[in-house]
Amino acid sequence: MKLSYYFFTICTSLILTMSTQAQEFNQNENKWLKGWSNFDPNKTIYPEAEETLPTIIADDTFLRNDIVYLISGDVYVTSGATLTVQQGTVIRCDHKNPANLIVTKGSKLIAAGSEAYPIVFTSNKAARSRASGDWGGITIAGSGNVNSVSGNGVIKGDFNPQFALYGGDKNDEQTTILKYVRIEFAGNKTKRTNHTNGLSLYGIGSSSIIDHIMISYSAQDSYNFTGGNLDMKFLLSYKAEDDDYEISEGFKGILNKVIAIRHPYITSPKGSYAVEINGYNKDLGYIQPDAVSDVTITNSSLINLSDQSNYMHTTAAVAASNAALIYLHNSKISGFSDVVKFDKSYASYAAIEKAFMMDNSFFNIHGDGVRVAFTSEKSPLDILKYNRFTQNFVAVANLFSDPNSKTIPKFDLKKSMNTYMVMQ
């Protein structure tokens, strides 16, 4: 992403096109969730597991949808093997010996479900007894670029060291294929010092395919992108305790049509964000300044289901640190304290203007809008120019058409976009 390029090409015509785009921006944006998503997975009755996966999968393996599988403890896909999961397969994940699926560097996970037959990774507890953090999560290590001095790293989670390396120079690697996959009740905190997330991608290659993924009720991050380079689309995070999308170590990509749905009472003690983006890992150093994490988020909704009784428990929607770059386009941010919070690595208005851009978007917040660690004669709010906003904070149920639906939440604005104010 080149922010100066986008600023020149987009903002010059933005004012002329905003009115015509507003109507398209606000209608039928969540149709892609129909048929395969599940917003009430605790009540879903899944069949009992019939077959337990081995601890080591060192040969190409195919999981059939007429068998329900169990993952117990740490299961590693190794030795360049490919684990292929048939559409419609259900994989139950042990809570007593918390399950983790680790796809090691050079190996591959192909889990291509469909709208009619999604693939489901879920807790092995009975319906109505499942909870966030019942099991660990899915971790995939690739060979793509990582912005560290060594160019690689070790995956978090205290896994077997011989299987934990990620990163390299295979930027076009097809590390994985994931389509129409649900990951439910992951993020276990009890087994290891470094917790696992719903889906952790390390050094992902650009030929990978990731779309139509739903991660619900993760006790840690829903998604964690560490290094690598990949454009992804149709991603949903639902009621995570920690961050919805955590990005670090030089990850680069476009996230198109992504949703984060948070609740102010479901959060971590240190604060949780819809997007937490870190330019590089301070403990590992970095290759060069222009290799920092750089992400475009477009056609997306970052929503906290807050109202006047609980909005004080929310944080900023986006937290940026260590010089990371982020561009938000044609998106909605609602229910948070601020749009974005910058750490002290952004030491001036010029620094945040270079690192952040947002256009043709909408925000509904209860704080100042932009939080910075420096003082400036120029208002940091200027980086939110050319976006529409509510003059006063509006509760989620009053702002959107059906935000709390257990079928498909709808975030169409009840009022026309053109009725809201424009930051100028």
Q: What is the pLDDT of residues 139-153, one digit of tens each?
A: 999 999 998 888 889
Q: What is the pLDDT of residues 345-389, one digit of tens each?
A: 999 999 999 999 999 999 999 999 999 999 988 999 999 999 999
Compute CA distances 57 → 40, 45, 84, whole Å. Answer: 32, 28, 11
The rounded distance, in Å, linking the Cα atoms of 173 and 143 is: 7
284 has pLDDT over 80? no
In 279-419, beta strands by DSSP E: 294-298, 301-304, 318-321, 325-329, 332-336, 340-342, 356-359, 362-365, 370-371, 388-389, 400-402, 410-413
Contact 186, 219 (CB under 8 A): yes
* Strands 137-141 and 119-123, bridge-based pairing: unpaired
Give CA 418 to chain center in angstroms: 29
The amino acid that residue 288 corresponds to is Q
Torsion over CA of 389, 392, 397 and 400, rounded to 10 degrees? -20
Of 316, 327, 323, 259, which is closest to residue 286 (Cα–Cα)?
A: 323
The rounded distance, in Å, linking the Cα atoms of 391 and 387 is: 12
Give one DSSP letter per residue of 189-209, joined into a string: -SS-SS---SEEEEEE-TT-E
The rounded distance, in Å, linking the Cα atoms of 24 and 368 is: 28
Q: What is the pLDDT of residues 124-136, one digit of tens each?
A: 999 999 999 999 9
pTM: 0.93
Q: What is the pLDDT of residues 58-104, one digit of tens each?
A: 999 999 999 999 999 999 999 999 999 999 999 999 999 999 999 99
